[in-house]
Amino acid sequence: MILHDLIAYDTLRLIWWVLLGVLLIGFAVMDGFDLGTQILLPFVAENDLERRVVINAVGPVWEGNQVWLILGGGAIFAAWPPLYAVSFSGFYLAMFLILFALILRPVGFKYRSKREGPGWRAGWDWGLFVGGLVPALVVGVAVGNVLRGVPFRFDDAMRIFYDGTTLFELLNPFALLAGLISVAMLTMHGAAWLMLKTSGPVETRARGYGISAALLTAILYALAGIWLWLGVDGYAVTSTVVTDGPSNPLAKSVEVAAGAWFRNYEAHPWMMVAPALGLAGPLIAAGLMALGRGGLALLASGLSIFGIVASVGLAMFPFILPSSVDPRSSLTVWDASSSHMTLFVMLAATVIFLPLIIAYTTWVYRVLWGKVDARAIQDGRGHSY
């Protein structure tokens, strides 16, 4: 027996769909509070020392947190090549915009304190704000467009064609709502992190903004669910599903129908746990913030992120990228993966290295546990930003 036959092809495909979700949720939770903290920077800090406190709350950990983004991109490239080809080419301008914004983060952290001029530092503060807001907004907009369907298709030779035109067509009303959910959600998460890592006026202001962001997250998420039910058609496979055959997106039939994104929840009621967490999590986080429980609020906001992201994946399953111009070309878990051998080798590597990443991350957070010391920053002690 060949080694990779130890795990069936359809099982490997399902495992990699779960792993992709884990990596995307890991990025949203781990790097999410970095982005949320950057969004809050101009508003929770009123002087240079307070801004330095906010920056040092995420400065030592943001690089490690961004590893989850790299892992997610690598997983898409290796496990789902057609998904990588369509998304990274069709969303090229959006990806470039995210990359440009993310570049502002390390540059801002490193160069902000090189000069003491208030104009210089204020400029970099707003640069860090843009570096947090733009990725949060654009990623949410991308998810909204995925739910509506992306304008791509395959020809008979399996060549990919993207029929979209400009970046602005992605800014449709439903996608913008999804983008606002993402911004509110990560702002809530960043506020909870600042409550855990700071004290005094910064913590107090973060609490106020965090409660507002949490309530807004719950309201917008509920509104998006209603809109998805009433105004956004979903996708469903109507032909026989071959779960262990060669990857060929054109070997199926797909219908577009109202309410199709909710069929999985009707068939499997246990899946309702995800949207329940997405709706209740922000409300619980708001209550905990009001009580001054930053650590528990961070946990609640993390659970809400898990619920919101997972609810999208569960609603779409088995689709991972539907096509709005040729539904038959839509990519699913069963027809857009790499080969059996590739998925097995990738899984073996993941089993080895993912626990190491988690263990190292845990160790780093243990070493850096505690609130940021404003006095140490003011006195120039340590290696603060």
- Give DSSP secondary structure letters for 169-223: GG--HHHHHHHHHHHHHHHHHHHHHHHHH--THHHHHHHHHHHHHHHHHHHHHHH
Of the listed ranges 87-96, 206-215, 326-335, the one predicted with least confidence? 87-96
Q: Give yes or no for residue 261 having a pLDDT over 80.
A: yes
Average pLDDT score over residue span 37-57: 93
pLDDT, one tens digit per residue, over 281-323 is 999 999 999 999 999 999 999 999 999 999 999 999 999 999 9
- List strand residue ranges (DSSP E) for the chain, in order: 152-154, 160-162, 233-237, 254-258, 319-321, 331-332
Mean residue pLDDT of the chain comes to 91
Question: How would residue 69 be classed by pLDDT, with cut points 50, 70 and 90?
Answer: confident
Residue with tokens 């993966």: 337
pTM: 0.93
Cβ-count burial 306-315 (b if 16+ within 10 Å, e if not): bbbbbbbbbb
pLDDT, one tens digit per residue, over 174-225 is 999 999 999 999 999 999 999 999 999 999 999 999 999 999 999 999 999 9
Cα separation, 336 vs 339, in Å, equals 10
HEC per residue, 362-383: HHHHHHCCCCCCHHHHHHCCCC
